[in-house]
Structure 1
Amino acid sequence: MCGAEVVSRVDAAWRALDAVLDPEVPALSVRDLGIVRDVIDHGDALEVVLTPTYSGCPATELIEKNVVDALVAAGLGPVRATTRRAPAWTTDWISDEGRRKLREYGIAPPAGGAVASAGEAPIRIVRHTADEVVACPRCGSTHTERLSAFGSTACKALWRCLACREPFEHFKPI
């Protein structure tokens, strides 16, 4: 086995989770979105700790099922998913790669940047103001306006670019 890379069960699980897409924003994996908090090897089973984007997220059960199914399909089972709601998920947990993927998908990412890990995310209160600047994910212009506080899901708002005239969704910072 000279030169072969030995990959731990936890590392293999993290890699497999890169392929599990968020059902509401399928441009992002559950890792990109930052809802996978931890993967723990208990010897007899893997535990995946998930934090939903908000407590009433209708996709929570589907995400749990998709995570468990992907890890079992990768030969890493048995697997159990645990939901942890505290600290609450924040858009700071979206990875830099996830923010790039959101822009490419046509959704303006939330302001701010990703934190090193979910455990380091600060608790903050976000105040939305009339002078909020959101760049168009299509042309990059900041000459935009909010049309509606809510888009296709509760975590997104509907905006329009006044430069290219295209509507787009903005992933709201929380």
Structure 2
Amino acid sequence: MTDEAILEAVGEVPDPEIPVLTIADLGVLRGVRHEGDEVVVTITPTYSGCPAMDLIRHEVELTLRSLQVDGRVETTLSPAWTTDWMTDAGKAKLVDYGIAPPRSSKVFLQVSIRCPLCGSPDTTELSRFGSTSCKALWRCNSCREPFDHFKAI
């Protein structure tokens, strides 16, 4: 089996915290390589101590077994994950799921976060931390609905 085929299959592992996203959508899946007869899948956590990484590792291992591939999962912290690694498709899935996607981490000026429900830019941050550490809790001042915003890292 080719590295590309393995990468595609493993990339479909869902994120346990935001199940509409895959680890490929998030940019958590860093690569697949062969070391002799063994396949090594490299992943990077969205932040140090992310509790989802154990389950992601397990699901990747199950996927490798289902492909009848002898392999292991390697976690790397360098370079550190950034929201810039998220795919455009992943960001669109966040909007459809009701979570405002991150903007580029290269933005130095705080700009308004658009409500993923009604699209209004008239929003307010309620808490720097939302349902998980990688999200903040916001509220739309137009439709008055709360929503998570995936923080740019």
Measured against the shorter chain, the TM-score band is over 0.9
Which deviations, in whole Å up to 9, do the C-alpha atoms of 1:3-35 show, x marking residues without a partner? xxxxx5212112212321000111100000001
Q: What TM-score, normalized to structure 2? A: 0.93
Aligned to 1:3: none
Which deviations, in whole Å up to 9, do the C-alpha atoms of 1:26-47 show, x marking residues without a partner? 1100000001111002241110
Structure 1: which 4+ aligned runs deviate by more than 6 Å? Answer: 124-127
What is the aligned residue count? 153
Which deviations, in whole Å up to 9, do the C-alpha atoms of 1:89-125 show, x marking residues without a partner? 001000111101111111000012xxxxxxxxxxx78
Aligned to 2:84: 92
Aligned to 2:123: 144
- Select which of 55, 59, 66 maps to 1:73: 66
Aligned to 1:50: 43
- State how far apart, in whole Å, the 1-side matches of 2:145 and 2:36 are: 52
The answer on whether the counterparts of 1:17 and 1:29 sit within 8 Å (CA) in structure 2 is no
Aligned to 2:147: 168
- State how far apart, in whole Å, the 1-side matches of 2:22 and 2:12 are: 6
- State how far apart, in whole Å, the 2-side matches of 1:18 and 1:104 are: 20
1:37 is matched by which residue type in structure 2? R
Q: What TM-score, normalized to structure 1? A: 0.82
Alignment RMSD = 1.7
How far is the alpha carbon of 1:162 from its aligned partner? 1.0
Q: Once the two structures are aligned, what percentage of the paired residues are identical?
A: 50
Q: Greater CA radius of gyration, 1 or 2? A: 1
**Structure 2 unaligned runs (5+)?**
none
